[in-house]
């Protein structure tokens, strides 16, 4: 197949305005983030913070994320998607990166965490900016392209490893945070300059002009009733929450399990993220045309089946079974490549477009609040046996598959799409 005939390349060529500029500028955020993120906790420890202080910073950040997610709908409607994104991207990324770059103690990191929690506002406004004027037939591919830009940045992360090995951690991290502040700000300004307000954003700007903020928050009662009465919105809430929960063990407990229970070398942990990313890219680019021909529900069920198979493979791996762990990595990467962009697409396609920002606000707050306790729960399971978080995940995948398979909302959407 010629490169220009690739479905994703065709999608990028067909997109215009906000969706295209969001994709093109995403590496300016994802590359610096991939450089500093793996060393963030170690950087705090090098500057004298203990585990309790780091835990407090994480807890305060998570609590504020729920608050900012909840108020993000009103802010997005009052300011507009375009202005809310550039303002709060600057507050939640540029300013924290500068604080992190010059941090001296616990107070600096706490201040940065408070600022960084505002990214939940732009999580709402940017998503609206990205999807509201995106043609429905391109939504899945558009999210896949965003996913690819993030994956490609992983191949830049060894540069940070080399820098830290060549020089000491603290000065390298200060430099990386300064670079991140400049690069991310460039992304925000380019998107603001070449993007524009969405059609629905202009409608909401007119509708909320002169309306007191207190009244807009009071309207959330109606939004909650609307969400409770919508099968599609309830499906999004359950599906997003379950997938968020299922990502916790694979993100936080995989390395502990394979080094502790299976006895693999710590040095291999730097290899798995790059291997996983490479497999995801090959999988996406290699079978995207086939996935595009599948119905949304079928492709999600395929991804969940691959997740389940990967976990079974990991659980039967013997000590030192590196080949089986590599098989797990391949299946899990393929599953994530299928499910991740499609869960974002489900959220976009099944939400009432007239109330997208406020429904997103409530959904994000609920998803974070419902998912957060499972971090401690999985930690408790891992303390009993390193395999237990992955055993529990099999149950999560099974429930999630049942929700998707029996969903009337997804079935009706597929029938309407087929008619179109």
Which residue would you say has higher pLDDT here, 115 or 58? Answer: 115
Is residue 98 domain-resident?
Answer: yes
Res 82 pLDDT > 90: yes
Burial 68-96 (b: 16+ CB within 10 A, else e): bbbbbbbbbbbbbbbbbbbbbbbbbbbbb
Res 415 pLDDT > 70: no
Is residue 4 domain-resident?
Answer: no
Burial 107-129 (b: 16+ CB within 10 A, else e): ebbbbbbbbbbbbbbbbbbbbbb
CA-wise closest residue to 106 among 33, 27, 156, 48: 48
Residues in the chain: 420
Q: Specify the range with the lowest mean pLDDT, choosing from 30-44, 153-167, 168-182, 202-216.
A: 153-167
Distance separating alpha carbons of residues 3 and 19, to the nearest angstrom:
21
**Full-model pTM:** 0.76
Query: Looking at the 3D structure of the chain, how many domains does it have?
Result: 2
* Domain final residue, candidates 197, 218, 239: 218
**What pLDDT sits at residue 351?**
80
Residue 404 and residue 336 in one domain: yes
Cα–Cα distance list, 235 to 84, 124, 240 (Å): 28, 19, 8
Backbone dihedral region of 210: left (phi > 0), alpha (psi from -120 to 50 degrees) or beta?
left
Percent with pLDDT over 70 in the chain: 94
CA-wise closest residue to 81 among 235, 230, 202: 202
Burial of 416 (0-12, 13-18, 19+ CB in 10 A): exposed
The residue range of the domain holding 334 is 225-420
* Domain final residue, candidates 218, 250, 283: 218
Give the CATH number, domain containing residue 36.
1.20.1250.20
Residue 345 and residue 391 in one domain: yes
Residue 45 and residue 169 in one domain: yes
**What pLDDT sits at residue 320?**
87
Is residue 177 within 8 A of residue 98, CB to CB? The reply is yes
Residue 201 and residue 109 in one domain: yes
DSSP 80: -
Residue 175 and residue 234 in one domain: no
Q: State residue 371 phi and psi, 5-degree precision.
A: -85, -35
Which residue would you say has higher pLDDT here, 80 or 296? Answer: 80
Residue 40 and residue 181 in one domain: yes
* Domain final residue, candidates 177, 198, 218: 218
Per-residue pLDDT reduced to its tens digit, 351-385: 877 788 888 888 888 888 888 788 778 878 888 88
**What pLDDT sits at residue 294?**
77
Structure-block tokens of residue 270: 């730097």
Average pLDDT of the residues in 177-201: 94
Average pLDDT of the residues in 200-222: 86
Distance separating alpha carbons of residues 113 and 58, to the nearest angstrom:
8
Distance separating alpha carbons of residues 381 and 395, to the nearest angstrom:
14
Residue 138 and residue 32 in one domain: yes
């Amino acid at each position: 197949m010629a490169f220009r005939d690739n479905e994703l390349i065709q999608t990028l060529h067909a997109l215009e305005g906000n969706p295209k500029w969001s994709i093109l500028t995403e590496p300016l955020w994802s590359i610096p983030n991939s450089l500093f993120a793996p060393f963030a906790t170690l950087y705090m420890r090098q500057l004298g913070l203990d585990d309790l202080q780091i835990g407090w910073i994480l807890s305060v950040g998570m609590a504020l994320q729920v608050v900012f997610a909840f108020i993000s709908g009103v802010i997005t409607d009052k300011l507009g998607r375009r202005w809310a994104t550039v303002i709060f991207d600057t507050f939640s990324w540029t300013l924290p990166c500068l604080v992190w770059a010059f941090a001296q103690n616990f107070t600096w990191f706490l201040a940065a965490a408070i600022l960084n929690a505002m990214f939940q506002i732009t999580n709402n406004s940017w998503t609206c900016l990205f999807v509201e004027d995106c043609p429905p037939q391109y939504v899945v591919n558009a999210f896949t392209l965003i996913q690819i830009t993030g994956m490609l940045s992983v191949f830049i992360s060894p540069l940070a490893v080399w820098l830290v090995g060549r020089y000491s951690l603290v000065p390298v991290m200060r430099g990386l945070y300064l670079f991140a502040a400049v690069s991310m700000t460039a992304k925000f300004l380019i998107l603001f300059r070449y993007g524009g307000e969405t059609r629905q954003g202009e409608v909401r700007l007119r509708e909320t002009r002169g309306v007191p903020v207190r009244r807009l928050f009071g309207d959330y009662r109606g939004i909650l009733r609307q969400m409770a009465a919508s099968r599609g919105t309830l499906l999004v809430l359950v599906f997003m929450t379950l997938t968020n929960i299922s990502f916790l063990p694979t993100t936080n407990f995989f390395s502990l399990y394979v080094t502790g229970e299976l006895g693999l070398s710590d040095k291999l942990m730097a290899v798995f993220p790059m291997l996983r990313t490479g497999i995801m890219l090959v999988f996406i680019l290699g079978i995207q045309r086939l996935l595009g021909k599948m119905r949304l529900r079928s492709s999600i069920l395929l991804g969940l089946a691959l997740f389940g198979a990967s976990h079974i493979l990991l659980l039967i791996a013997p000590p030192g079974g590196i080949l089986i762990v590599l098989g797990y990595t391949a299946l899990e990467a393929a599953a994530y490549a299928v499910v991740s962009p499609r869960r974002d697409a489900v959220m976009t396609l099944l939400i009432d477009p007239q109330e997208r920002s406020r429904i997103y606000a409530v959904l994000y707050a609920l998803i974070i609040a419902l998912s957060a306790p499972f971090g401690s729960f999985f930690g408790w399971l891992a303390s009993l046996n390193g395999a237990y978080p992955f055993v529990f995940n099999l149950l999560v995948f099974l429930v999630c598959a049942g929700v998707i398979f029996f969903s009337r909302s997804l079935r009706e959407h597929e029938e309407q799409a087929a008619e179109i």
